[in-house]
């Protein structure tokens, strides 16, 4: 018997969407069966936080009878059979996610129950992605620059003097693959020149050994669980650096370009079992020193933007590309 094939009408779904698709079964000879069932399931799971337990929480769960034998002796006739399915995703469910300590999956499974034989089971996952709420977009992408000020007392054994670092960002909400320009303003009160500026971009995951009613925010800094019931994982996935020079007792302003990595595929989200997102760390290096002076992690929202904002970014990219294009060759 050829295994059933599950297909979805869309590649990606949003919370609140109606998930639709079909199960295709090609039968080459009459197939004796009790039923054909279609199940769907969306869940989050954490594991590896403690040695003895893992935790799971379901978001959506359902079953549909696609075909059933009425007398126990019916057979599925030869030919191609298509069984459509449809179910709704609740609003507010988190996006698909996968990591070593936790994952969020959405899947559809078809089960063919055959007398005196093992059940035939085929499952297929589908992707759920979230889009930033329009109010969030309005708040964090409103044309107002976000800035951060830090004062570093440089030197390890002997003090070189303070350095003030101010970083200006165009907004506080970004999307995957977006190009941004970071403005660095350095006031060097030390007696050593600043030779390099940089920015590190990292992902983080905060995982619970058991689900909580209230999600943790800001990397789980206020997590109510004991240390052995939670786990934090950080991973650098991008960055940028620029050679520069700010002499002692002087000032300098520089632009550091950066592109949000495409590998940052999962939008920032919070749930009772895990909180996942991204943060930036800004910094500089002094001349003839390997020490990287950098800020505390600054958490930034990364996600899919509404269609109109996505079109604005594409238009801006096109305008920049045309502006820097070389003149046409003329013999």
218: nearest Cα among 298, 145, 149, 281: 298
Residue 99, helix vs strand vs coil = coil
The confidence band for 296, taking pLDDT boundaries of 50, 70 and 90, is confident
Contacts of 139 (CB under 8 A, 6+ apart): none
Query: pLDDT tens across 31-78, in order?
Result: 888 899 999 999 999 988 775 677 889 999 999 999 998 876 678 888
Q: How many CB atoms lie within 10 A of CB 224?
A: 11
* Residue 72, pLDDT score: 64
Q: What is the mean pLDDT of the chain?
A: 86
Residue pair 43/94 in contact (Cβ under 8 Å)? The answer is no
Cβ pair 220, 205 in contact under 8 A: no
Q: Are the beta carbons of 229 and 193 closer than 8 angstroms?
A: no
Q: Considering the entire predicted model, what is its pTM?
A: 0.81
Q: Tell me: pLDDT of 22 over 80.
A: yes
With cut-offs at 50, 70 and 90, classify the pLDDT of residue 8.
Answer: very high
Helix (H) or strand (E) holding 319: helix 307-324
- In the prediction, which pLDDT does 328 show? 46
* Range in 3-7, 63-67, 118-122, 133-137 with the lowest mean pLDDT: 133-137
- What is the model's pLDDT at position 124? 96
Tokens of 135: 């109010």
Lowest mean pLDDT across 110-124, 168-182, 208-222, 257-271: 208-222
Confidence of residue 322 (pLDDT cuts 50, 70, 90): very low
Residue 36: CB atoms within 10 Å: 23
Count the Cβ atoms, other than its own, within 10 Å of residue 201: 20
Is pLDDT at 323 greater than 60 in this prediction? no
Q: Provide mean pLDDT across the span 187-216.
A: 92
Domains along the sequence of the chain with CATH: 5-128 (2.60.40.640), 134-323 (2.60.40.640)
Query: What pLDDT score was predicted for residue 331?
Result: 46
Q: What is the structure's pLDDT at 316?
A: 59
């Amino acid at each position: 018997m050829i295994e059933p094939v599950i297909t979805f009408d869309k590649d990606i779904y949003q919370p609140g969407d109606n998930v639709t698709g079909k199960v295709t079964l090609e039968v080459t000879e009459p197939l004796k069966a009790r039923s054909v069932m279609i199940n769907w399931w969306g869940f989050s799971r954490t594991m590896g936080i403690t040695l003895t337990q893992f935790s799971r929480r379901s978001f959506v769960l359902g079953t549909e009878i696609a075909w059933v034998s009425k007398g126990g002796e019916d057979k599925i006739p030869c030919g191609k059979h298509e069984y459509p399915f449809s179910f709704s995703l609740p609003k507010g469910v988190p996006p698909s996610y996968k990591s070593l300590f936790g994952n969020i999956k959405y899947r559809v499974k078809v089960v063919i129950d055959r007398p005196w034989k093992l059940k035939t089971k085929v499952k297929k996952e589908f992707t759920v992605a979230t889009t930033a709420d329009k109010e969030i977009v309005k708040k964090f992408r409103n044309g107002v620059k976000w800035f951060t000020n830090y004062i570093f007392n440089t030197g390890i054994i002997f003090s070189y003097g303070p350095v003030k670092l101010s970083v200006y960002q165009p907004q506080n909400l970004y999307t995957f693959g977006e190009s941004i320009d970071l403005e660095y303003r350095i006031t060097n009160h030390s007696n050593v020149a600043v030779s390099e500026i940089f920015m590190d971009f990292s992902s983080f995951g905060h995982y619970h050994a058991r689900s909580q009613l209230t999600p943790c925010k800001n990397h789980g800094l206020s997590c109510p669980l004991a240390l052995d019931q939670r786990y934090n994982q950080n991973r650098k996935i991008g960055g940028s650096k620029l050679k520069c020079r700010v002499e002692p007792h002087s000032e300098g302003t520089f632009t550091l370009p950066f592109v949000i990595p495409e590998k940052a595929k999962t939008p920032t989200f919070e749930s009772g079992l895990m909180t996942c997102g991204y943060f930036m760390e800004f910094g500089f290096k002094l001349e003839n020193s390997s020490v990287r002076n950098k800020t505390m992690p600054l958490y930034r929202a990364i996600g899919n933007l509404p269609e109109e904002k996505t079109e604005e970014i594409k238009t801006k990219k096109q305008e920049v590309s045309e502006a820097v294009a070389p003149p046409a060759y003329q013999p």
